Amino acid sequence: MSFAIHAEHLRKTYPTKPPVEALTDFNLSIESGGALGLLGPNGAGKTTFIRILLGIILPTEGSITVMGVNPSTHPHQVARNVRFVPETPYLNPRWTLWENARYWFTLWDEPWNRESVANVFEQFDLLNRAKEPVKRYSRGMQQRAGLALAFGSAAKIMVLDEPTLGLDVLGVQEVLSVLNIFKTKGKTILFASHDMRFVEELADHIALIANGRVLEVSSATNFRQKHGRERLKLRYRLPDNAQEFTEEIPIPPGVSSEEIITQKVRSIFERGGILLELKKELPSLESVVTSFLRTAR
Amino acid sequence: MTKLSQWKSILKLSFLFFFYTFTAIVRQARYGIQFFILPALGLTTFMAVYAVVRMFDGNAEAIFYPFLVFNVISYPLGGAMQLAYFTLLDSSEASAFLASPIGVNALFAELLGDSWATMMGNFIAIVAAAGITHPQFHGLNTIYGLLLLFMLLVPGVKLGVAIGMKFVFANQLSQFIMAAFFLFLILPSGNPLAWVGLPFSAALDLLSGKAALPAMLYGFAGTILWWAMAEFVFRWSYNQYRLGKGVDRI
């Protein structure tokens, strides 16, 4: 299997007084062409890991390769294959988007092809305003602009830090649909986000990180099934009251859901009530991740 | 670190930065008088210093070259230090620059470009100031002197980036340097301390047409020393930064 990013037993201790251990035996592999979401509380080690894989800081111990190249010893070579989009994309506000693009492409040492960049601007719905200074853009547009520059480049790996920060619901959907297109074009996407719906729709896998370690890597669905307790959702109406009632009942481990359903439905019918809706569902990714990380802490 | 092949990218980026920033100023100028702000600021600074020197019976012409050196050297050093410090303080912003194929030189190129852009206004002020003080220009010497000052701009910015990258007090230090540098330069030229900054003194001598050959040699030797020192400090600082001992240390 070919890994785009492969980290083994990474440890990073910041030489402060007292020293801070940001990563402890950190292991993570990301397949080429996939999307992996890093989830974890602030201070979990996500940024430190990203900075090590970009070759900006050195690990204290362990090894890491990005497309087979060690970023600690060959950061410039790694930089040709990786684009990083910080949570607030760094764009010169006084320059137009075209000027910013020209500057960043020069910085990335990539050939300038105005037509292909225009295509990407079009995909991110920016082309009609690309001649305006970036400072006139809304927060969401600036975010899209940062992403457009990175995805317009030829690099194979995209590292995104909070790509939906400041975007409204529609903006998130627009970014999501474009990123999914680029995912199918073979780009590998590694991103950190606190927007669980975005994570669920983009990530093939999620990596749960806490205290400088990767606790688990799996698909969002598998993670929910494994750690989320199923619950019954009932909506019913009682005869003496026109009001609707909604109840969510967690199914305890080892107890069959049919048993609880029978018991509950019988109780509603005995009171002359009408059952409007009954469904069994998994809790949201957000609540599973929250309870998982709380336990891990 | 700064390989020969990277200089092409650095100069191109520095030029693009200057050009786009200048374009942005012109774009804004369509809507107001912003176009005149930079030169006006430079000229006002000069006039203020000029007035103070005259007040204390100083030589009016003597202020011209220190002012020029101050603009060309001290601003890039102090300004780059301050800008590098603030850029690197935000690890997201720093990462965007540092994770490029030329690495930390991307930051150097950006700040070099920024220095060109800011000094554009100051250069106009210097030309205006030259008219006021009527200095004697000495043809080739003057050109060589200016070239020397430009050559010193590169290690100045590099040193600024290096200090800004490593030291948490870079911001305060830069302000101190910018003020102290100017005072140092207006010391009487006979002061032996003036030779501490060998290339600067040589540039001054060249610009005023004194003993061209020795000054050229001093200037050349001094410039090489400054480049070597800046390169050494730059490498050391970046290595410290990568170890986690930079300004953004947690």
pLDDT at position B195: 42
Least confident piece of the model among B9-18, B104-113, B122-131, B145-154: B122-131
The answer to whether the CB atoms of B99 and A55 lie below 8 A apart is yes
Residues in CB range of B105: below 8 A, 6 or more apart: B1, B2, B6, B9, B10
Confidence band for A133, pLDDT divided at 50, 70 and 90:
very high
Name the residue with higher pLDDT: B225 or B35.
B225
The answer to whether the CB atoms of A133 and B24 lie below 8 A apart is yes
**Measured between CA atoms, how close is B47 to chain A, in angstroms?**
30
B85 pLDDT more than 60:
yes
CA dihedral for B184, B185, B187, B188, sign (positive or negative) = positive
B249 pLDDT more than 90:
no
Determine contact: A102 vs chain B, CB below 8 A: yes
Determine contact: A99 vs chain B, CB below 8 A: yes
Cis, bond preceding A18 (omega within 30 deg of 0): yes
Average pLDDT over residues A180-194: 89
Least confident piece of the model among A38-42, A70-74, B26-30, B141-145: B141-145
Nearest CA in chain A to B17: A103
Closest by Cβ to A161, choosing from B9, B92, B101: B92
> What's chain B's average pLDDT?
74
What's this model's pTM, rounded to 2 decimal places?
Answer: 0.80
- Length of chain A (residues): 297
Q: Is A27 exposed, middle or buried (0-12, 13-18, 19+ CB in 10 A)?
A: middle
The answer to whether the CB atoms of B94 and A82 lie below 8 A apart is no
Strand-strand pairing, A157-161 and A82-85: parallel
Nearest in space to A203 (alpha carbons), one of A223, A182, A186, A219: A219
* Predicted ipTM of the assembly: 0.77
CA distance A126 to A137: 10
Q: Convert the pLDDT of each residue in B194-244 to its tens digit.
A: 444 556 666 666 666 666 667 667 777 777 888 898 899 999 999 999 998
Nearest in space to A194 (alpha carbons), one of A166, A222, A233: A166
A121 pLDDT more than 50:
yes
Confidence band for B25, pLDDT divided at 50, 70 and 90:
confident
Strand-strand pairing, A241-250 and A20-31: unpaired
Greatest pairwise CA separation for chain B in angstroms: 54
Determine contact: A110 vs chain B, CB below 8 A: no
Nearest CA in chain B to A149: B96
* Block residue for tokens 């030829």: A154
**Measured between CA atoms, how close is A89 to chain B, in angstroms?**
8
A70 pLDDT more than 70:
yes
